[in-house]
């Protein structure tokens, strides 16, 4: 794989079956961008693994995908619910997910690290230490551990893609963004290191900053903002799909911004 492979998210055109036959895991799939992406991946032919902590919400997304299958009668494949609390998961929890994927498919074609915590917006000198540790664990350590345990399944794919959802404050730090900004910087670092390590394999790793989006986290960060003026999560999925699908084959170690 080459870090210089030409690829422009501004120029992508997605086919209805862009992800046909692919197995894709998504963390945080019950709301916002994660939910929109799970539905879009399924509509474009992927078998989706829903990785989240709230079983009731996971079941709701599962039902939405099943409804798409019944309504469209097309390539929408049944999803797999994989309960996972990124804050409290231990090695055995991760191993259980890896074994379930191995038994059902024998491979993993895509993994999206979408789940994250904002924490508090505060100056470093006043930042609550337990909150800092929690944010760093969920936003950095958990994606590292999940990627590590799923690496055999990713290596078994003929064309695997890992996509880490990033942020503008993960590219250039800003005052008062604290652990969230630092965690996203660390995630960008993991992308670069892992992409370099996997340079001669069929596994590519990239980051994507989806930009300002109408989500609960955005409302938490900007409570006085008119969130109705922001792009919807559904409008942000195309870039993720392109990075998960065949169009980005050979593209690795790059930091993208959604169009």
The answer to whether position 48 is within a domain reads yes
Residues 6+ apart with CB under 8 A from 222: none
C-alpha 1/C-alpha 202 separation (Å) is 8
Domain count across the chain: 1
Secondary structure of residue 206 in the 3-state scheme: strand
The answer to whether position 156 is within a domain reads yes
The answer to whether position 76 is within a domain reads yes
The answer to whether position 7 is within a domain reads no
The count of C-alpha atoms lying within 13 angstroms of the C-alpha of 103, restricted to the half-sphere facing its C-beta, is 7
The answer to whether position 41 is within a domain reads yes
Encode the chain (259 residues) as per-residue pLDDT tens digits: 344 567 899 889 999 999 999 999 999 999 999 999 999 999 999 999 999 999 999 999 999 999 987 776 655 678 999 999 999 999 999 999 999 999 999 999 999 999 999 999 999 999 999 999 999 999 999 999 999 999 999 999 999 999 999 999 999 999 999 999 999 999 999 999 999 999 999 999 999 999 888 888 888 888 888 888 888 999 999 999 999 999 999 999 999 999 9
Give the residue numbers marked as catalytic. 180
C-alpha 202/C-alpha 159 separation (Å) is 5
The answer to whether position 208 is within a domain reads yes
Range of the domain at 79: 16-246
C-alpha 192/C-alpha 197 separation (Å) is 9
The answer to whether position 54 is within a domain reads yes
Neighbour tally for 64: CB within 10 Å:
14
The count of C-alpha atoms lying within 13 angstroms of the C-alpha of 44, restricted to the half-sphere facing its C-beta, is 23
**CATH number for 209:** 3.40.50.720
The answer to whether position 92 is within a domain reads yes
Q: Is the pTM of this model over 0.85?
A: yes
125 burial class (0-12, 13-18, 19+ CB within 10 angstroms)? exposed
C-alpha 190/C-alpha 144 separation (Å) is 8
């Amino acid at each position: 794989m080459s870090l210089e492979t030409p690829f422009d998210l501004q120029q992508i055109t997605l086919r209805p079956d862009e992800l046909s036959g692919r197995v894709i895991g998504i963390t945080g799939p019950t709301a916002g961008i994660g939910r929109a992406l799970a539905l879009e991946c399924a509509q474009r032919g992927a078998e989706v693994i829903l990785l989240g902590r709230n079983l009731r919400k996971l079941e709701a997304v599962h039902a939405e995908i099943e409804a798409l299958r019944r309504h469209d009668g097309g390539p929408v494949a049944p999803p797999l619910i994989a309960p996972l609390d990124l804050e409290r998961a231990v090695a055995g929890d991760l191993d259980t997910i890896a074994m379930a994927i191995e038994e059902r498919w024998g491979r993993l074609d895509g993994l999206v690290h979408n789940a994250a915590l904002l924490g508090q917006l505060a100056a470093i000198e006043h930042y609550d230490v337990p909150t800092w540790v929690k944010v760093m664990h969920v936003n950095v350590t958990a994606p590292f551990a999940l990627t590590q345990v799923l690496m055999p399944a990713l290596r078994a794919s003929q064309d695997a893609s890992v996509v880490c959802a990033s942020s503008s404050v993960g590219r250039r730090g800003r005052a008062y963004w604290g652990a969230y900004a630092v965690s996203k910087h660390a995630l960008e670092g993991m992308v670069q290191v892992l992409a370099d390590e996997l340079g001669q394999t069929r596994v590519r790793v990239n980051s994507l900053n989806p930009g300002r989006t109408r989500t609960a986290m955005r409302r938490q960060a900007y409570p006085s903002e008119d969130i109705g003026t922001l792009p919807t999560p559904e409008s942000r999925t195309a870039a993720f799909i392109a990075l998960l699908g065949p169009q980005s084959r050979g593209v690795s170690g790059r930091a993208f911004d959604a169009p």
